[in-house]
Structure 1
Amino acid sequence: MSDIKQHLQQQLRWHLDQRDPRIENLSDKALREHASRYLSEQVDDHQQHQNLIREVVNEAIGLGPLEPLLHDAEISEIMVNRFDRIFIEKAGCLQDAQIAFSNEQALRRAIDRIVLPLGRHVDDASPMVDARLQDGSRVNAVITPLALAGSCLTIRKFSAKPLTLDDLVKSGSLSAEAAEFLSLSVSCRQNIIVSGGTGTGKTTLLNTLSSEIPGTERVITIEDAAELQLSHDNLISLEARPKNQEGQGAVGIRELVINALRMRPDRLVVGECRGAEALDMLQAMNTGHAGSLSTVHANTARDALRRLEVMVLMGGIELPISAIRQQVASAVDIIVQIARLSDGRRVVVSINEVTGLDGDTLQVATLYERSRATDSLQSCQTPCQFAQHQSDELQARLMHCLVG
C-alpha cells in the first residue's frame, strides 16, 4: 500500500507541475476535486483506494495528516514535534494524535504551503516563522538547525463562531454578574487589560470583550498575527509585517499603534503588548482613546502592571519610574486575570481595578475573585476598606456613563 501511495504522489505532483492554466486558476475546493478525479483514473479500483486517494490529495494540496485535525471542532491546538510525533489538545488535555507525516520533506512542504501564500518564508537563514491559516488559526513553525529533531509546527485553532460573554457564563469561565460588569465596563469606555499565561485564552477573551464595543464606534485592531474576529462595520484590522529576505521592510506593532492614532480611532485593540509599544498604548489610553483593550503575559494583576513598566523601559526612553507608574495608573482601569486550571479549563480568576498611586506603589483592588470553595467568580464583599471604597466609586462612574 505504501508503494501505491508513493506512486500516486509522484503521479499527482507530475500532473500538477504541468502548469496547466486551467488547473492553476482553480479554487482550493475545485483543485482537490480535480486531483481526486485524476488519481481515481490511475488506480484499477478507486472505491477500494478512496482513503488512500484522500491522503495523497491532502498531502499534495492541503496539510497532509493534519487535515482531519483542522476540521475537528473539539481540537484546540495541534503540536507537531517532528514529522512522526504529533500531539493535540482536546478539552484542555494533551494526547497523542496517533498520526504522522510520511517523512520530513512532507512536513516541510506543509509548512511552505502555509507561509508562502502570506508572503512569508522559512529557510536556513530564517528558520522561524509566525503565520495564520485562512480560518484565522495561528501558526508557528521552526525548522532545522534550530529544531534539532526536525521541523516542528504548532497550530492554535480558533472557533468558527466567536464566543460571547453568555458562552463564557454557560461554560463556567465567568459568573453572570461579572459578565454584566465587563459588558458595562466596555460600553462605558473603561481601558481594559487582559492578563494571563501562555495558552490561557487571552486572545479569545479579548475578542469577546471587543465584540461588546458599540457598533457606532470606529475600531482599529493591531496584531502581530491577525486573530481577532470582529464584525463591526467601522473596523480596520492592521497586522505587523516581518522583515523580508534582505532583512528590510519590517513594520512592528509600535509603528502600527503610532500610525493608528492618525486614523481617527474611537477604540484601539492591541492583540498583545510585548515591548516598547506599551508606552504608545498607554499614551493613547490617556489622550482621547478611552475604552481601548490589550493583553499582556503575566500571572497576576500586579505582575501585569510590572510588565507594563518593564515594556515601557524597553523602548529606550529615559523616563523616571514614577512617571511611568503615573501613566499606568491614569491609563489602565480594569485588569482581567485569566488562567488555565489543572483540568484544562480556561477561566477568569479575578477582575481587578487599578485605583491609583499610593506614593510610588500602584494600588489594585480586587472586584471579583474566583472562589475555590464554589469554583465560581464572586464579588469581593470587603477585600479591604480602601478597595471597597474605590469599587463603589467605579460603580458610580459606570452608572453615570450608563445614565448619561
Structure 2
Amino acid sequence: MQSQEPLALQHQRLIQKMRREFGQDVINLLFEDNVTEIILNDDGFLWVERLGFPMEKIGKLPESQAAAAIKSVAAFWKGFATEEQPIVEAVMPIDGVSRFAGVLPPVVKKPSFCIRRHTSKVVTFDDYIKSGIMSEEDRDIICSRIQQKDNILVAGGTGSGKTTLLNTCISHAVSIFPNNRRIIMEDTAELKRVADNCKMLQTSVHVSLLALLKLSLRLRPDSIDVGEVRDGSAHTLLKAWTTDHPGGFASIHANKGELGALLRLEQLCLEVVPNPMNALIAEAIGLVINITKTKQGRTISHIISVDGFKDGKYITRNLCKNKFV
C-alpha cells in the first residue's frame, strides 16, 4: 500500500536518514565554505578537496553505510539503486545544490561516490590570490578585460574549478555594471544569481541549450552567460556574442595549452556547420582563462588574449607570465 504520509514529511525523514548514513564528517564538509569535492573511493577511504589545496584523506566510511546513503539519495528522487541500476546521478538532497554521483557493485568493488560541491558564497579574486591560484597581475588583467566588456571563456579539465571561476567573473562584472541585464543559462543549476536584473534559464529533457540561446535573444539581454558549452550550440553562442551582446562569460572543457579552448570551440562548431568558424571565434572571444588542476592544487596556467585570425592562424598573446604547468 502506498504511503499516505505527506511528501514533505517523507523527504524530511529521508534527509535525516541520509545524514546518519553519510556520517557527521561528510555532513560537516558539505557545509564548509571552501570544500569543492567530497569523494569516497571503493576502498572505503574518504577524501576531500578544498579550494587551492590538494586532496586530503580524512577517514573511512563503512560499506553498509555508503550503500545505504546512495540508495537513500536515489529514493529521495523516486529512483532506485540496485545491481541492475548501480549508478545514481542527482542533486544532493541534503543541501539541494551539490552534484552527487554514486556507484554500487558490480560496477565497483565497494560502494563509492563523489559529491561536487559549489560554495554558497561567491569566491572573490582576492580569495584566489590568497590561496595561490592566481597572482595579483593575473587578477588585474582579468578585471581589466571584464571592464572592457570582453567576452571571456574559462577553460579547464574536469574538477579544475571552471564553474567557481565563472561565478567570480560574473560577480565582478555585475559589480562594475550593476544595471546590465544578464541572461544566464546552464544544464545544472550551479551559477549564482548575483545580478538584480537577471534571467536564469536551465535546460531540461525537452529544452536544449540551443533552444535557450535562441530564446535568450528575445529576452532583451545586455550580456549572455553559459555554464558550460558542450555541443554545437557553441556556434549560436558565438553569433550571439558578436551581435551587440558584449561582456559575456562561458566555460568549456578543453585540454590545457594556449590554443586548447579555441580548438575545442572549432570542434563544437563542426557539429553543426561544415567549417570550423575560426574568424567568428576570433571575433567573439576576447580572453581565454585556463585554470588547471595540479598536484599542488589549482592554478591559472594561461590567460590568452585573442587578437584575431589571419593567414590560417589565431593571433594570440599569453598574458599570464612565469607559469610552468
TM-score interval (norm. to shorter): 0.7 to 0.9
Per-residue deviation at 1:353?
Answer: 0.7
Letter of the structure 1 residue corresponding to residue 310 of structure 2: D
1:182-261 equivalences under 5 Å are 182-213=142-173, 214-242=177-205, 250-261=206-217
Going from structure 1 to structure 2, the CA distance change for 1:131 and 1:60 (only over 3 Å counts) comes to closer
1:339 to 254, 271, 292: 292
1:313 to 248, 265, 270: 270
Kept after mapping to 2: 8 A contact 1:278/1:308: yes
1:230-309 equivalences under 5 Å are 230-242=193-205, 250-298=206-254, 299-309=256-266
Letter of the structure 1 residue corresponding to residue 267 of structure 2: V
Asked if residue 129 in structure 1 is aligned to residue 86 in structure 2, the reply is: no
Which residue number corresponds to residue 366 of structure 1? 318
Q: What is the alpha-carbon distance in structure 2 between the residues aligned to residue 68 and residue 274 of structure 1?
A: 33
Going from structure 1 to structure 2, the CA distance change for 1:237 and 1:69 (only over 3 Å counts) comes to same
Aligned-residue sequence identity (percent) comes to: 27
Going from structure 1 to structure 2, the CA distance change for 1:115 and 1:141 (only over 3 Å counts) comes to farther
Which residue number corresponds to residue 17 of structure 2? 59
Per-residue deviation at 1:139?
Answer: 2.3
Could you tell me which runs of 5 or more consecutive residues in structure 1 were left unpaired when the two chains were aligned. Answer: 1-16, 36-56, 243-249, 376-404
Kept after mapping to 1: 8 A contact 2:235/2:269: yes
- Say which is worse superposed, 95-104 or 191-200, in terms of deviation: 95-104
Per-residue deviation at 1:126?
Answer: 9.4
Q: What is the alpha-carbon distance in structure 1 between the residues aligned to residue 230 and residue 103 of structure 2?
A: 20
Per-residue deviation at 1:220?
Answer: 1.4
Per-residue deviation at 1:253?
Answer: 1.9
Kept after mapping to 2: 8 A contact 1:135/1:160: no
Going from structure 1 to structure 2, the CA distance change for 1:228 and 1:60 (only over 3 Å counts) comes to closer
Superposed CA RMSD: 3.1
Per-residue deviation at 1:361?
Answer: 1.2
Letter of the structure 1 residue corresponding to residue 195 of structure 2: H
Kept after mapping to 1: 8 A contact 2:45/2:57: no
Q: What is the alpha-carbon distance in structure 2 between the residues aligned to residue 325 and residue 158 of structure 1?
A: 33
Per-residue deviation at 1:221?
Answer: 1.3
Going from structure 1 to structure 2, the CA distance change for 1:203 and 1:264 (only over 3 Å counts) comes to same
- Of structures 1 and 2, the one with the larger relative CO (CA 8 A, separation 6+) is 2
TM-score normalised to structure 2 length: 0.84
Which residue number corresponds to residue 36 of structure 2? 76
Q: What is the alpha-carbon distance in structure 2 between the residues aligned to residue 157 and residue 291 of structure 1?
A: 27
Residue correspondences, number: 314
Which residue number corresponds to residue 162 of structure 1? 122
Normalized per residue, the structure richer in helix is: 1
Kept after mapping to 2: 8 A contact 1:337/1:351: yes
Kept after mapping to 1: 8 A contact 2:183/2:201: yes
Per-residue deviation at 1:332?
Answer: 0.7
1:351 to 282, 287, 303: 303
Going from structure 1 to structure 2, the CA distance change for 1:261 and 1:83 (only over 3 Å counts) comes to farther
Q: What is the alpha-carbon distance in structure 2 between the residues aligned to residue 350 and residue 253 of structure 1?
A: 28
Going from structure 1 to structure 2, the CA distance change for 1:141 and 1:283 (only over 3 Å counts) comes to farther
Q: What is the alpha-carbon distance in structure 1 between the residues aligned to residue 73 and residue 18 of structure 2?
A: 12
Q: Give secondary structure in 1 for the equivalent of 2:259.
A: helix
Q: What is the alpha-carbon distance in structure 2 between the residues aligned to residue 196 and residue 358 of structure 1?
A: 26
Asked if residue 330 in structure 1 is aligned to residue 290 in structure 2, the reply is: no
Q: What is the alpha-carbon distance in structure 2 between the residues aligned to residue 292 and residue 238 of structure 1?
A: 15
Q: What is the alpha-carbon distance in structure 2 between the residues aligned to residue 126 and residue 237 of structure 1?
A: 33
Asked if residue 95 in structure 1 is aligned to residue 60 in structure 2, the reply is: no
Q: What is the alpha-carbon distance in structure 2 between the residues aligned to residue 130 and residue 300 of structure 1?
A: 32
Could you tell me which runs of 5 or more consecutive residues in structure 2 were left unpaired when the two chains were aligned. Answer: none
- Say which is worse superposed, 270-279 or 171-180, in terms of deviation: 171-180
Kept after mapping to 2: 8 A contact 1:286/1:330: yes
